[in-house]
Amino acid sequence: MKSIGDNCGVFGIVKETACVQDIYRGLDFLQHRGQQFCGIATYDGKRIYLITHYGQVGNTFNPHELDTFKGNIGIGHVSLKERQPMMWQGAVGEIAVAFSGNIINNEALLKEMKDRGEAFYHGLDIEIISKLIMQEKNVVSGISMLAESIKGSYSLVVLTQDGIYASRDVYGFRPLILGEGSGTFIVSSESRAFQSLGLNRIRDVGPGEIVFITHKGFETKKQLKSPRRAHCAFEWAYTASMDSKIDGLYVQEARNNLGKSLAERDIEEGGLHADLVSPVPMSGIGHALGYHMVSGLPYQEVFLYNRYADRSYTQLTQEDRDRMAKKKLSVLEYAVKDKKIVLCDDSIVRGTQIKNKVRDLKNAGANEVHVRIACPPLMYPCDLGISTRTYGELLAREYIPEGNITTLDELKDLEIWVSEKIGADSVRYNSLEAFVEALKIPKEDLCIKCWDGNLPIAL
Strands 446-447 and 217-223: unpaired
Q: Which is nearer to ligand SF4, 19 or 240 (CB)?
A: 240
Cβ at position 172, least distance to ligand SF4 in Å: 11
Give the one residue of 232, 329, 373, 436 binding ligand SF4; rule: CB under 6 A: 232
- Listed residue (183, 185, 119, 176) closest to 143, CA to CA: 176
* 372 DSSP β-pair partners: 344, 428
The catalytic position among 8, 19, 38, 344 is: 8
Q: Taking the CA of residue 251 as centre, how many other CA atoms within 13 Å lie in the half-sphere pointing to its CB?
A: 22
Do 378 and 396 touch, CB atoms closer than 8 A? yes
Give the one residue of 24, 69, 234, 236 binding ligand SF4; rule: CB under 6 A: 234
The burial class, CB within 10 Å (0-12 / 13-18 / 19+), for 182 is exposed
- Upstream peptide bond of 279 is cis (omega within 30 degrees of 0): no
Task: Please count the residues of the chain.
Answer: 459
Cβ at position 198, least distance to ligand SF4 in Å: 32
Collapse the DSSP code of 77 into the 3-class scheme (helix H, G, I; strand E, B; otherwise coil) and give the result: strand
What is the rounded distance in angstroms from the CA atom of residue 373 to the CA atom of residue 369? 13
Q: Is 427 in the site for ligand SF4 (CB under 6 A)?
A: no
Give whole-number Cα distances, 129 to 124, 132, 457, in Å. Answer: 9, 5, 18
**Of residues 121-150, which lie at the interface with ligand SF4 (CB under 6 A)?**
none
Letters for 165-204 (x = contact with ligand SF4 by CB under 6 A, - = none) are --------x-------------------------------
| Window of 17-25, 131-139, 158-166, 444-452 that interacts with ligand SF4 by CB under 6 A | 444-452
Q: Is 40 in the site for ligand SF4 (CB under 6 A)?
A: no
What is the rounded distance in angstroms from the CA atom of residue 399 to the CA atom of residue 404? 11
Q: Is 438 in the site for ligand SF4 (CB under 6 A)?
A: no
| Window of 132-140, 231-239, 258-266, 333-341 that interacts with ligand SF4 by CB under 6 A | 231-239
Q: Is 447 in the site for ligand SF4 (CB under 6 A)?
A: yes
Cβ at position 192, least distance to ligand SF4 in Å: 19
Do 426 and 371 touch, CB atoms closer than 8 A? yes
Q: Is 335 in the site for ligand SF4 (CB under 6 A)?
A: no
Cβ at position 296, least distance to ligand SF4 in Å: 32
φ, ψ of residue 44 in degrees (nearest 5): -115, 20
Q: Is 439 in the site for ligand SF4 (CB under 6 A)?
A: no
Q: What is the DSSP letter of 198?
A: T
19 is catalytic: no
Q: Which is nearer to ligand SF4, 49 or 173 (CB)?
A: 173
Give the one residue of 96, 110, 143, 233 binding ligand SF4; rule: CB under 6 A: 233
Cβ at position 234, least distance to ligand SF4 in Å: 4
User: What value does the CA radius of gyration of the chain take, rounded to a whole number of Å?
Assistant: 22
What is the rounded distance in angstroms from the CA atom of residue 437 to the CA atom of residue 318? 34
Cβ at position 155, least distance to ligand SF4 in Å: 12
Letters for 361-390 (x = contact with ligand SF4 by CB under 6 A, - = none) are ---------------------x-x-xx---
Q: Which is nearer to ligand SF4, 11 or 234 (CB)?
A: 234
- Listed residue (164, 219, 223, 221) closest to 22, CA to CA: 164
- Listed residue (375, 168, 399) closest to 261, CA to CA: 375
Residues assigned a catalytic role: 8
Contacting residues toward ligand SF4, per CB under 6 A = 173, 232-234, 382, 384, 386-387, 447-450
